[in-house]
Structure 1
Amino acid sequence: MHSEFSLLAPDRALAAALQQKIDRKTKPLGALGLLEGLGLRIGLVQQSLTPALRNPHVIVFAGDHGAARAGVSAYPQDVTWQMVENFLAGGAGINVFARQNGLGLTVVDAGVAHDFGPRPGLVDAKMGPGTKNYLEEPAMTRAECATAMQRGAGIIRTLAADGCNIVGFGEMGIGNTAAASLITHCLTGTPLADCIGRGTGLDDAGVARKHQLLEKALARTGRVDDPLSVLAEFGGFEIAMMAGAMLAAARAGMVLLIDGFIVGSAALTAARLAPAITEYCIFCHRSAEPGHVAQLTALGAQPLIDLGLRLGEGTGTALAYPLVQAAVNFVNEMASFESAGVSDKE
């Protein structure tokens, strides 16, 4: 455990009162399923019997990967910056779902191989024009990894100062499912083949080539399982920045909305550094990427929805947000047996 990443779980002194409030709603015990545990979790994070969601926001971290040029993705690297432009123009999936559900949206250039210049809605936290090629050398130095995490934390502190208490995490970066596969393999011990999926749409031959390339990356390093070393060897600037942002969000008492496989690799890294972070997290969906199952199992997480999503961008967080709202609303607004004058079971 790295002491600088220490994090306390939410105080459970309020748990019994919250559970009693949930149990006395006009319904059979447990009848609202996962929403009941969700309401309890949010109440504990906020240390309140009347939780509230304020200034909900999604942050999309974008970065390029040196290994993308070696063929680990079906798409060319230029798609990263082109999709950032799409985010800024309001035309991507995350824009649609964030607008639909009243979520603020910020895009962060964590390390895209493109010069955007100052742009409304874009935070310039660029670490460089993408990481190095982890097939040949570490993706980043330990110092770069630490700086990326610190920049992510700073972005969250700004958001918290603006009154946000619930934040969703999204990403964009051609090649980042490959990085997430390596991180997941190293931090969970799951066989590499079970951590590799089609990413942006590889065919069978593409998946086989991706597997071969990632085996080559692992052969370069030998066994690595220290989370910061794994992140520096194989991660992207966007993944490192997300991990730092997640730790800062939990320290600020925010609710964290975790998207799919790539965001999950940042959450897995953060949880290896500070296990209590999972108590602040809502795992929004189960990704169609096979490695996501390994992540969820390792984190003891039960996702809210399973729609076969594998888009990234934080789309799963925006789609699950109405369920999070529903959990808070039933805790606050649903009548109790006593207030409604409804007879309880014998």
Structure 2
Amino acid sequence: MKFLPPAIAPLDPALGAELRARVDGKAKPPGALGRLEDLAVRIGQIQGRLDPCVERVRAHVFAGDHGMNAEGVSAYPSAVTGAMVATFLAGKASVNALARACDVEVLVVDAGVDGDLPAHPALLDRKVRRGSRNAAVEAALSEDELDAALAAGVTLAADAAGEGIDALVLGEMGIGNSASAALLMHRLAPATLVDCIGVGAGHDAEGLVRKSAVLARAAARCDSGEPLEVLRQFGGLEIAMMVGAVLGGAAARRIVVVDGFISSAAALTAIRLVPEVRDYCVFAHASAERGHRLMLEALGAEPLLNLGLRLGEGTGGVLAAPLLRAAARMLSEVASLDDVLAGRL
């Protein structure tokens, strides 16, 4: 593989201390806004400023199909991926409704849908190939395909930063992608495979047994723990492109908002590759999908929300956008206690 991650600067602890002092000096008791204060400090560190600003937030819904779905790892056929992409582009999916409520832009990224998608203003065509290979029997991606997906994700994040996007929400759509995410978690958390496998989009008990057997076969093919090789063996194109977007977002000093189980698997891969990425990631919510809480623990991440969501699409990520804006405005708009007491308002 030829891919080289972009340079990512660690957050400045001195700036963090200065931001913390500013938060503590606001017209409120110290710590009264709880974790919102910690979020404000981190946003300031990410942006490298004492008066952070979060206005434009964009959700990128990365879409791709999985060859492993031929083994029955999902309750739904792969054709649903393309159908849901059409729903996103029509503005009629759950993420569209929640994004409108939270003032978040939505773009769909065709990373590897197994079909031809008509051009649309909200669609970015970054297709590497029409779906990944069947990871139960062979590597899901070639080295060149993985390189292309990672590079496309980095570029996409850099382009968004250039357009003035302050925070990037990672969303996804890919029938069968909870199976790939479980394998990534198994190798990179690491965790026992059984703890990584959940019902995904809605398996019954019989389907979960079948999914578990297929993933055990896939895991037995390769025992590598190297992040990019694990991603090549088991990842889908939408997950690989999200890994690139995590790296690119951090390199551009943007807030990377991680949605649920699938997006967290992409973040886990990026963090295992470049540990400094961790500080740029805000984990939006604790998914109801089995394995997500254990994955968050492996990352040392405390999610902002706990709503029992397990849809994907970036839905939990867009719901976190108002909290990002609120945290930034607390730092930039709330008067200091000194100014209040001196009457300088």
Other structure's SS at 1:159 match: helix
Give per-residue Cα distances to partners, 1:26-77, cap 9 Å, x unaligned. 2222121110110000000111110001421110000000001110001111
User: What is the one-letter code of the residue matched to 1:333?
Assistant: E
Deviation at 1:245, TM superposition (A): 1.1
Deviation at 1:325, TM superposition (A): 1.3
The answer as to 2:11 corresponding to 1:10 is yes
Greater alpha carbon shift after TM alignment, 4-13 vs 272-281: 4-13
Other structure's SS at 1:119 match: coil
User: What is the one-letter code of the residue matched to 1:311?
Assistant: L
Deviation at 1:178, TM superposition (A): 0.4
The answer as to 2:202 corresponding to 1:184 is no
Give per-residue Cα distances to partners, 1:277-324, cap 9 Å, x unaligned. 111111100011121112211111100000000000000111111111
Q: Gaps (5+ residues) in structure 1? A: none
Give per-residue Cα distances to partners, 1:127-153, cap 9 Å, x unaligned. 111000011110001221111000111
User: What is the one-letter code of the residue matched to 1:43?
Assistant: G
Measure, in 2, the Cα distance between the counterparts of 1:165 and 1:323: 13
User: What is the one-letter code of the residue matched to 2:246?
Assistant: M
Check 1:4–1:107 CA distance in 2 against 1; reply closer, same or farther (3 A cut): closer
User: What is the one-letter code of the residue matched to 2:107?
Assistant: T
Measure, in 2, the Cα distance between the counterparts of 1:202 and 1:63: 20
Measure, in 2, the Cα distance between the counterparts of 1:53 and 1:5: 23
1:337 alignment counterpart: 337
Using structure 1 for the length normalisation, give the TM-score.
0.96
Judge conservation of contact 2:7–2:251 (CA < 8 Å) in 1: no
The answer as to 2:21 corresponding to 1:20 is yes
Measure, in 2, the Cα distance between the counterparts of 1:267 and 1:180: 11
Check 1:45–1:178 CA distance in 2 against 1; reply closer, same or farther (3 A cut): same
User: What is the one-letter code of the residue matched to 1:242?
Assistant: M
Other structure's SS at 1:341 match: helix
Deviation at 1:103, TM superposition (A): 1.1
**Aligned pairs (5 A) from 1:254-265:** 254-265=254-265
Measure, in 1, the Cα distance between the counterparts of 2:91 and 2:71: 31
Using structure 2 for the length normalisation, give the TM-score.
0.96
The answer as to 2:69 corresponding to 1:64 is no
Judge conservation of contact 1:55–1:164 (CA < 8 Å) in 2: yes
Other structure's SS at 1:110 match: strand
Measure, in 1, the Cα distance between the counterparts of 2:326 and 2:156: 28
Other structure's SS at 2:195 match: helix
Give per-residue Cα distances to partners, 1:159-192, cap 9 Å, x unaligned. 1111112111100000000000000000012111
2:44 alignment counterpart: 43
Q: Gaps (5+ residues) in structure 2? A: none
Judge conservation of contact 1:57–1:105 (CA < 8 Å) in 2: yes
2:83 alignment counterpart: 82
User: What is the one-letter code of the residue matched to 1:98?
Assistant: A
Deviation at 1:119, TM superposition (A): 1.8
User: What is the one-letter code of the residue matched to 1:34?
Assistant: R
Give per-residue Cα distances to partners, 1:192-236, cap 9 Å, x unaligned. 111111100111121111111100111122x12100011000000
Deviation at 1:106, TM superposition (A): 0.7
The answer as to 2:263 corresponding to 1:283 is no
Deviation at 1:3, TM superposition (A): 6.5
Greater alpha carbon shift after TM alignment, 11-20 vs 184-193: 11-20
2:151 alignment counterpart: 150
1:267 alignment counterpart: 267
Judge conservation of contact 1:6–1:273 (CA < 8 Å) in 2: no
User: What is the one-letter code of the residue matched to 1:59?
Assistant: H
1:131 alignment counterpart: 132
Measure, in 2, the Cα distance between the counterparts of 1:318 and 1:312: 11
**Aligned pairs (5 A) from 1:190-205:** 190-205=191-206
Q: CA RMSD in A?
A: 1.5
Judge conservation of contact 1:5–1:273 (CA < 8 Å) in 2: no
Measure, in 1, the Cα distance between the counterparts of 2:4 and 2:300: 23
Measure, in 2, the Cα distance between the counterparts of 1:135 and 1:264: 22
Q: Which runs of 4+ in 1 moved over 3 A?
A: 2-6
2:213 alignment counterpart: 212
User: What is the one-letter code of the residue matched to 1:177?
Assistant: S
Deviation at 1:99, TM superposition (A): 1.0
**Aligned residue-pair number:** 341
Measure, in 2, the Cα distance between the counterparts of 1:256 and 1:228: 20
Measure, in 2, the Cα distance between the counterparts of 1:293 and 1:261: 9
Greater alpha carbon shift after TM alignment, 117-126 vs 234-243: 117-126
User: What is the one-letter code of the residue matched to 1:8?
Assistant: A
1:319 alignment counterpart: 319
Judge conservation of contact 2:57–2:321 (CA < 8 Å) in 1: no
Other structure's SS at 2:302 match: coil
1:121 alignment counterpart: 122
Other structure's SS at 2:180 match: helix
